[in-house]
Structure 1
Amino acid sequence: MASTSVVRMIFSRRLTPFYIAAIYLLLGGLWIFFSDKLLACLVKNSEILGQLQPYKNGFYLILTAGLLYALSNRLLAFQLSESASPASEGKFRQLTENIREVFWLLSLNPTEVIYVSPTYESVWGRTCESLYKQPMSWLEAVHPDDREQVLAAVERRYRSQGDSDQEYRIVQPDGSIRWIRDRAFPVCEQAGQVNRIAGVAEDITNRKHLEAGLRKLNEELDNRVQKQTTELQQATEQLGVEISERQRAEKERDQFFMLSLDMSCIAGFDGYFKQLNPTWEKKLGFTQEELLALPYLELIHPEDHTATVSVVQQLNTGSDIVSFENRYRCKDGSYKWLSWNCTTILNQQSIYAVAQDITERKQAEASLKESNQQIVNILESITDAFLTVDHQWRYTYLNQQAEKLLQKTREELLGRRIWDVFPEAVGTIFFEKYHEAVAKQVSIEFEGFYSPWNCWYEIHAYPSKDGLAIYFTDITQRKQTQAELLKALEKERELNELKSSIVTVVSHEYRTPLTTILSSAELLEHYGNKWTEEKQLLHLRRIQSTVHHLTQLVSDVLFLDKTEAGKLEFNPTLLEVVTFCGELVEEIQLTVGNKHKLVFVSQGECRLAYLDEKLLRQILTNLLSNAIKYSPESGTVDFALLCEPDKVLFRIQDEGIGIPKDDQQRLFESFQRASNVGTIPGTGLGLAIVKKCVGLHNGQITVESEVGVGTTFVVTLPLNIQKAG
């Protein structure tokens, strides 16, 4: 029980090289003291006792070598635990990509794998992706005989949140069995609270085979010592055989050093190597004799010389060195990167060190760095804006174009949530599409309008395991161009429809008047000399009236064409409105004679107005003509001029047929006539012309009508006297 407590105490302590050396010295002293007394009690013959001394020492070396191996592994586990802290997580991740062990990182939820190194695939024979999708799938590979103890260990690990160290077997897909040593340790945040569990799973199959061989060797050695002790007591002639066994044990001990795949060495503070294993020759190309003859500082890369001297000085004070990196010169002149773990035995003035060749890892890091820089250079040079966000919607990268379009610098954005920086975007198409891309893990392309900036953007969003990558371009100018193009196309369509309608109306409206003119002319030609002068004048007036109608039709068509083509000019001048309206009423009254009565009244003071006389004539002439045309004979048309401080109103009211409600909505469109006009002639152009002329004055026109009662039009135009000044 006491020995068990001592072993537990040794392996539960935080190990350092100094502590390991102390254990080594303690065990050595106890062995020397007690083993001599034990042999003295068992063997009385002093000559035989002297011959047994080498075997006793050999057994001690084998025993302590196994202990040192276990303590070193314990130290390695502690170092990996330290390396896995959140403060060095980024650098440690780079290391895990290149070590032979499987490094893993879990949250406090055992069903969530944060990270597993690529070595998992070669050791377990399963993909890392399968583990991310099914975090407990690694247990499927555990040997059935070991699965219960592994599950119990996992449960203890999460319950205690302490270190754990277990060994078990896994079965690879090809049926081969591998031994795994799985060490786990908690990772704490700065406040000391455990927030993750990290671990290293090491393939120890080869070590298990070596341990089995070592156990077998120890058993054989124990049996041999016991047997040979008995035989030595009986016969000294077996001495030669025992000596050869001692030599064999020493040879096997040396094989541990010589067969190591790492670069193991013993060096002195005098600047020279004392012993090297063959791996040095394989890695550097020098023979052992050449390396032993060279001062080891001469092999150091010039840029690493100062740092290496500093490390040697630290070792000379008794400090241990872990994961120190420098470059060693090869015989062909090239350099290899080495990672060192070193300790010292000061009373021997010796440095014990193990170096690993990390050249490929360094080259991979340099290549990755160069590749990343190339990607950054490309992203900085493209004309599209590009940015990335993580799963918490925090900005992780943005290029120069993104800074420009977002109107913020990288310093203002990196590390902040996109929705905190741009809260107006929450609930918009940007918010919805980005979340859709992440939720469905699909690429999404869309166009969106961001109202705070009055801009259109074309977006391409690509989800990834790290978050979301977004390319976007300002397409506001393109959208405006498209809108203008659509507007022009619509205008062209309207013009084409107008031209088609003009052709139809003109062909229809011209046919009847021309027939009238032709008929009257033929009658005058054949019967004019037989008719009275009064009858001849009647037909001449009919021809004149028809010609006037055709002339007005042509004028209306040409005027409307100018309006639709945007060629109608607006030339306002100071106009005496009351006088103008009075003279216009007199002209129209002379034309219609006694068939209709025009009543003109003026209210208010607006003698002068800044209006276009030509356009105003078009407005009033068309409205008054329509009022007369659609009113019964002897009917009255009221024309009122109403003056206000900043505007003038023209109200024309008739007692005609009225306009149905359904027709009033499209009343001011070209070639539109009310459905109740019957045979009353007309082109449907008059009110369209009125609407255009009112619009050029920035005025308004309204209509109120009731079928069978009459219609009232009110035109409101600004006076604009200040503009005239």
Structure 2
Amino acid sequence: MNDPAKTKTQLIYELNELRKKLNKINQKQIQSINKNISNDKTISKSSKQKEIKNQNQKFEDITLNQKKYFEEFQGIGYQFEITNYKPILFFGVVREITGYSEEDFLSGRIELKSLIHPEDAALVNEETYKVINNAGYLSIIEYRISNKNGTIHWVRDIKKLIKDKNNKRKIIQGTIFDVTECKIIEDDLKLSEFRYRTLVDNVPGTIYRCQVRSPWRMEHISPMVEHLTGYLPDKFLIDGLTWAEIVYPDDLDYIINAVEEAVDKKEIYILEYRIIHIDGNIRWIFERGKAYYDEKGNPLWLEGVLLDVTDWKKAEQLLKESEERFRMIFQTSPDAIVLSTFDTGEYIDFNDGFIKLTGLSREQIIGKTAYDIHLWKEQTHRDKFLTEINKLGYIINYEAELNVSNNMVHTCLISSRVIMYNNEKHLISILKDIGELKDAEEKVRKLNTELEQRVHDRTAELEETLKILRNEYDEKSKAQIELMKAKEELAKALNAEKELSSMKSSFISMISHEYRTPLTVILSSSEILRRYFEINELEAKFYKHLDNIAESVQIMTRLLENILVISKSEASSLYYESSKFNVVEFFVRLIHEIEFSDKGVHHFKFDIESESIEVTSDQKLLKQVLFNIVSNAVKFSTANTEIISSVKDKGDTVEISIQDFGIGIPIEDEPHIYDTFFRCKNSGSMKGSGIGLSVAKRCVDILKGKIEVESEINHGSVFRVILSKNL
């Protein structure tokens, strides 16, 4: 075991050594703080000096307190085994800091780590680990200890690892000092610095310190300068932008002269001028500042505050413009306008309308009252007027009789309101002479009386006329009833016509179907006869008659199909049934059928780009369209002429064209070629019903396509059918 007396002496010696080291650490800290303050360009020189002085005083207070603690040993000396952290030695102001006795710790009844604030426990454990595992490591940390009475003490714990005198056992040796008062002083110092910085940063204006003479290079300028100019403080303090560089050029001489005069007289200068903001806009500045001098009276620098008064200037300009507008209205108003004091009623301003109304000169009115110029005819009217003004603060269209020019009395409407002018209550009044209006009202009253009599007389006449009109109305009512009956009969006739039209469509449909059956039988029979007589090798003349029968049947069949399409179209029952097919193959097959029936009279030619163009459409309706157009080309073309057909792929559409070299279509007939039963005037005695193109147009419309035509008399026609590939 170590001798406690010797150990305590050794600790005191080491504590003195630690005190010296701690003083050096504190000295370095205070030097670092003072250096940071000196380099802070946002703090004035006087503020820096004051701040450094405060820091030095705090350091002296901390040093004195530490010296006192060390000299009187106002701390806790301790030694712990590193194996079990059992205290070997515990002495000093143990009870003052912890509330427990030395024996409480030495006996193990209380452990030091149990008193460490929970938020600081990790830090203490980490430092203890470093001390144990790093020979020569000196740990200096601050943390909180909970006193037995519930108070919290800030302590500084200085410890290191040592060996006993036999160099066999490792021991943690340290000293704990109560630094609560030091912490309070440090917190006060931080709070003081924070308050100073907050004060500077939150001043609504920009605080500055600059050189005395133009161009006023800045030594300090607060952050609000960015809001004022658009430039950051560093632009002035580091980059060297001077204040004169952003002053509006026309105002620079005025500022220089005003500042120099104030500096020479040692007075405060107050300025209003313009600067150019970083965005190029003009800002108005209010500046208040003064110079600071040395002991000999020489100016050292300028300090002051800058405020953005652009909005004030704009408001001032608006107020000035408003006053000018008011003055213009005041002077040019045809009504009399007068401004008087509220308490005495003295006239202080008025317009020409008031002079004209009263018939007095400006000199006779200014400074006088309504009583002085005998304005009111009846005093009772004036008293009532003042009562209303005192009660409400305004009055509108108060009617009173006033003495006006030429010793006349006119009725006037008075509107007045209490206003503040030059911080005093005044009364502004508008007086409208309604004497002429009153005369006009009297004339209107007389005219109304005459008019009422005329109305009475006229009413009697109108009542008589009304009786006549009632009789006429009764007659018209009867006629109206007859007209309604006629309309009902007409509606019935129209319905009957509609029914008849419907019956016609039904009849046509029925007849078409009924005709088709026997025609089919005739066609089949003629074909059977042909085959039969071919076997028996009868004369060709008989075959010709059979061919005529077949051809006539086909013509009648096509005619009936066209009539059926027209019938369905008029009944709105013509629909399409789409399917996918090769339109080139479809069209070629149709042309071959017609070419076969033509028996070589015409020359059919094809102009086909592709052998396969797939479309989705209604084959039956498309056949109606193309058959009718090609049949017309054959019908209206002379023998041995060409019929040229083509199919072209146009992307989303397909174009089918039929060209002939026949009689052509007159230009005046082109708008009517799709009308039912219409025939061109140059068709002569050629066979035809006039419904082929009408049927083709209706079918194309159902297929959502279109027909285009180009034609020239005696040179032929070109019909183009354009259809969508996907119906």
TM-score range with shorter-chain normalisation?
A: 0.3 to 0.5
Larger Rg: 2
TM-score of the pair, normalised by structure 1: 0.34
